[in-house]
Amino acid sequence: MTPIPAAPATPIPQTAPAFDFRPLLIAYMTCTMAMMGFVSVIGPIARLLHLAAWQAGAVITVGGVLWMLLARTWGAASDRLGRRRVLLAGVGGFAVSYCAMCAVAIVSLYLLPAANLFFAGLVLTRGAVGAFFAAIPSVSQALVADHLPAERRAAAMASLGAANAIGLVLGPAVVAALTPLGLSLPLALIAVLPLLGLALLWKALPDSRPAHGTATAGLRLADPRLRRPMAVAFVGMFCVSMAQITVGFFAIDQLGLAPEAAARTAGLALAMVGVALIVAQLAVRRLGWSTRRLIRAGALIGAAGFGAVPFASSGVMLEAAFFVAAAGMGWMFPAFAAMASNAVAAHEQGAAAGSVGAAQGLGIVLGPLVGTLLYEAGPGVPYALAALLLVLVAAWPARIRA
């Protein structure tokens, strides 16, 4: 089959002013901090308000499902309506719905309503949070593609990834520092973060017009140009979410730790993931490698890390394996985003970023389900599957230039 060549990148006018990505990075980081801060307190709040474990999990999952379903819609809308308008709508909706979700939790902590009433309020508000958050990565990646030539996009996508990873680390850290003062205070404070991001973007984002070209409806979800980046995006998030959901169980069953010690070990392992993502994605900015080379190397490093987990016999070994695995993912994530961007034309950037976001969302939804099912067959089975999938990604024949 003759490969479909990538569409040529739209040349950047020499007279165009340089776009300052720092406000975008800060806003992205604050929104991620808020998301992860709430995830870190949902467990204790659920116990206080008598939610079942599956209900707490469902609250988190509904946001991932709506992210998966709407990422492409937001991205395509930014192609038609302009990046500024759609990104401000997404961040604004995220800020409002996030404040509503925190308000539901805070009021419930004081009024102690029926568990099912609290659950319904969280599902509605968390669903809105996920629906609006879907706009942020999709439109942010399209903005990068609008302002940078193809050879510089992987480095810029890595900056977005590093901002996201910093949020992953700082959000739970801030909440952990504040929880001795009660659960309501951290919820109230982290609710302010998306509002700060919105104010920053409102001031800093330039006016933008819709991209010129054919309507984005022509970019199908199954477009052959996006098969590789979407597949890599799915595998990457699938593997990460499998590991996240099972690491606490692994620390109890495989390492023989008590629940409290297992929670600390799992928390340190996940903290190592955030640190490794930051370090790896900052390194991408200096490497200057092609997207295909970054994906291949990252997949092999990730496979080595996940493959080492079943052999871990101590908390330190588990944390080191997670660090290596996350370092590989840190090379893959900006590479598949840049690969998708480089494969399409200027007027398709938002839809392409949204398609990749939908693939990531599917991985987030399916990973925990598959991971917990496979864990029943053996604590190391989910990690062995992750390693196998990443080896297959690395071995994928290079039929197109990327």
What's the length of the chain?
402
* Average pLDDT score, the chain: 81
**pLDDT over threshold 60, residue 400:** no
pLDDT attached to residue 212:
53
pLDDT value at residue 47: 72
In this prediction, residues 5-28 reach a mean pLDDT of 59
Q: What is the pLDDT of residues 266-297, one digit of tens each?
A: 777 877 888 888 888 888 777 778 888 888 99
Domains 21-206 and 220-402 share a fold: yes
Which helix (H) or strand (E) segment holds residue 260: the answer is: helix 259-287
Residue 171 has pLDDT above 50, yes or no: yes
Side chain identity at 42, as an amino acid letter?
I
pTM of the model: 0.74
Report the C-alpha gap between 103 and 124 in whole angstroms: 13
Contacts 24+ apart (CB under 8 A), 102-109: 102/38, 102/187, 102/188, 102/190, 102/191, 103/191, 105/41, 105/45, 105/183, 105/187, 106/184, 106/187, 106/188, 108/45, 108/49, 109/45, 109/48, 109/49, 109/183, 109/184
Q: How far is it, in rounded angstroms, from Cα 288 to Cα 291?
A: 9
Amino acid in position 341: S
Q: For residues 182 and 83, is the Cβ–Cβ distance under 8 A? A: no
Backbone angles phi, psi at 8, to 5 degrees: -65, 140
pLDDT band at 370 (very low <50, low <70, confident <90, very high): confident
Domain ranges of the chain: 21-206, 220-402
CATH class of domain segment(s) 220-402: mainly alpha
Predicted local distance difference test score (pLDDT) of residue 199: 92
The answer on pLDDT for 49 being more than 90 is: no
More confident residue, 173 or 388: 388
For 204-244, the pLDDT digits (tens) are: 887 766 655 444 445 666 677 778 888 898 999 899 888 87
Of 70 and 19, which is predicted with more confidence? 70
Helix 349-375 × helix 135-147 angle, to 10°: 140
CATH of segment(s) 21-206: 1.20.1250.20
398 — pLDDT class (breaks 50, 70, 90) = low
Q: Give the percent of the chain with pLDDT over 90.
A: 18
Distance of CA 292 to the CA centre of its chain: 21
Residue 305 confidence (pLDDT) above 90: yes
Say what percent of the chain tops pLDDT 70: 88
Quickly tell me which residue has 């309506």 as its tokens.
Answer: 81
Statement: residue 107 has pLDDT above 80 = yes
User: Cα(253)–Cα(261) distance, rounded to whole angstroms?
Assistant: 12
Quote the pLDDT of residue 7: 38
Whether the pLDDT of residue 174 is over 50: the answer is: yes
What's the pLDDT score for residue 383?
93
Amino acid letter, 76:
A
User: What number is the average pLDDT over the span 316-335?
Assistant: 89
Of residues 13 and 65, more confidence is placed in: 65
Contact 278, 161 (CB under 8 A): no
Shortest CA distance to 291 belongs to which of 220, 361, 393?
393
Cβ count within 10 A of residue 223: 18
The model's confidence at residue 111, banded by pLDDT at 50, 70 and 90, is confident
Q: What is the pLDDT of residues 233-272, one digit of tens each?
A: 899 989 988 887 788 778 878 888 776 677 677 777 877 8
pLDDT for 124: 93
What is the rounded CA–CA span in Å between residue 94 and residue 89? 8
Q: What is the pLDDT of residue 64?
A: 78
Torsion of CA 81, 84, 87, 89, to 10 degrees: -70
Examine the pLDDT at 42 and tell me if it is beyond 70. yes
Sign of CA dihedral 329, 333, 339, 342: negative
